[in-house]
Amino acid sequence: MLAKRLIACLDVRNGCVVKGVSFEDLREAGDPALLARRYNAEGIDELVILDVTATVEGRRALARTIRAVSRELFIPLAVGGGIRSDDDAAAAFDAGADKVSLNTAALSDPPLLTRLADRYGSQAVVVAIDARRSGVGFDVFARGGQAPTDRGAVEWAVEAAGRGAGEILLTSIDRDGTRAGFDCELTAAVSSAVSIPVIASGGAGTFEHFHDVFTIGRADAALAASVFHFSEHAIADLKAYLRDTGVPVRC
């Protein structure tokens, strides 16, 4: 089994890290550059910045925030929010991103995934899928979880992989910020359908939740925000727990 990755997420609004529940009621959680410095020192494997209002406000992710964070890191940095075009992606890479994460733009312009993969490599293209339970399936939402689409999560993940995406960042809107555990059923459904890595997001609260999403959910990586931001769980302790319970993780 390949080593699993732990990823910290910085949801950023107006240059400040925020966190809410089910994408709503956002509250401030710190300075992105300071948090990035701490995560780099504590041994997180990767970092994601999501500019949570960029798409709704019709602008690019803030380059100054990306630059400030990238200067603190010696680990991969992915940037999402406001990546609507080739030029937006180029601006994010120029500011220090190693990967770009696309959600709404990928849904409205799927060929954009192929163009970016051809230019930067599939490893640099992440498709973010925000999904909510609906009946027996999972519906995809765009625009920061505000706009329903006619896509199913599994169906869209398969298409995105086929168009050149190198990873899927899969967020359960139902579990986001609840600390009730990842949606392992959703994660397993998508992981079983694609051959590219799937990053599980939404619901992390305990060490056991990470173990479950790596085993039951078949995730390749797990992303969390608030449980890391507020120093409720030490990353080294989480990695030690996962190793002790049979889940390989990076040193």
Instruction: Convert the pLDDT of each residue in 145-184 to its tens digit.
Output: 889 999 999 999 999 999 999 999 999 999 998 999 999 9
Cα–Cα distances in angstroms (integers) from residue 48 to residues 7, 17, 45, 224, 236, in the given order: 7, 12, 10, 10, 19
Q: What is the CATH number of the domain that holds 21?
A: 3.20.20.70
State yes or no: pLDDT of 54 exceeds 80. Answer: no
pTM comes to: 0.91
Residue 251 falls inside a structural domain = no
So what's the pLDDT on residue 231? 59
So what's the pLDDT on residue 233? 66
Residue 250 falls inside a structural domain = no
Residue 191 falls inside a structural domain = yes
Domain count, the chain: 1
Range of the domain at 107: 5-244
Is residue 147 within 8 A of residue 141, CB to CB? The reply is: yes
Question: Which listed residue (51, 98, 130, 220) is catalytic?
Answer: 130
Residue 42 falls inside a structural domain = yes
Residue 249 falls inside a structural domain = no
Across 213-236, average pLDDT: 86
Question: Which listed residue (11, 183, 212, 220) is catalytic?
Answer: 11
Instruction: Give all strands (DSSP E) within the chain, no chain letters.
Output: 5-13, 16-21, 24-30, 46-51, 77-80, 99-102, 125-134, 137-142, 147-152, 167-172, 198-201, 221-224
109 assigned to active site: no
Q: If pLDDT is split at 50, 70 and 90, which confidence band does 28 have?
A: low
**Residues ≥6 apart with Cβ < 8 Å to 48:** 7, 8, 9, 10, 77, 78, 79, 80, 101, 169, 223
Residue 205 falls inside a structural domain = yes
Residue 142 falls inside a structural domain = yes
Residue 193 falls inside a structural domain = yes
So what's the pLDDT on residue 52? 76
11 assigned to active site: yes
Instruction: Convert the pLDDT of each residue in 77-136 to its tens digit.
Output: 999 988 999 999 999 999 999 999 999 999 999 999 999 999 999 999 999 999 999 988
